[in-house]
Structure formats: structure tokens, C-alpha cells
Amino acid sequence: MPEMTATCDDLGYWIVRLPDIDQRLDMAVAGPLAAAEFGGALAYLVVCPADGP
């Protein structure tokens, strides 16, 4: 688990500050689950509403 957890309110702040790296980056986000899809190998979980803050 990552050391910090983002919320829907501050997710936009963190997204623009992510490092430009060529590897997986794990983020923890606390918020409502807006959608879930399975692509055969990966599960995509959409957290926070698209029209959020």
C-alpha cells in the first residue's frame, strides 16, 4: 500500500504532479467507486465521479 491516500477532492492536485517515469506507479484513492470493467487481464476501477472537484 502507498504511504498516503488521495481523496476525490485532492486527486487533481496529485495527477498533475506525478513523476514522468517509465514504470508502474501505485496510488491509493479513497472515494466512491464510479465504474468497474474487466479487460481480460486487467481490472479497471474508476474512482470518484468525472464531474468531481
Residue 15 is assigned to a structural domain of this protein: yes
Residue 52 is assigned to a structural domain of this protein: no
Q: Are strands 6-7 and 29-30 parallel, antiparallel or unpaired?
A: parallel
Residue 42 is assigned to a structural domain of this protein: yes
Residue 40 is assigned to a structural domain of this protein: yes
Q: What's the confidence (pLDDT) of residue 53?
A: 52
Residue 22 is assigned to a structural domain of this protein: yes
Q: What confidence tens digit (pLDDT) does each residue in 11-49 have?
A: 888 888 888 899 987 888 888 888 999 989 999 988 887
d(CA 26, CA 41): 17
Q: Is the pLDDT of residue 2 over 80?
A: no
pTM of the prediction? 0.57
Q: What's the confidence (pLDDT) of residue 9?
A: 87
Q: What's the confidence (pLDDT) of residue 38?
A: 94
Domain hosting residue 37, numbered range: 6-47
Q: Is the pLDDT of residue 52 over 80?
A: no
Which of 31, 24, 25 minimizes the C-alpha distance to 10? 31
Number of domains in the chain: 1
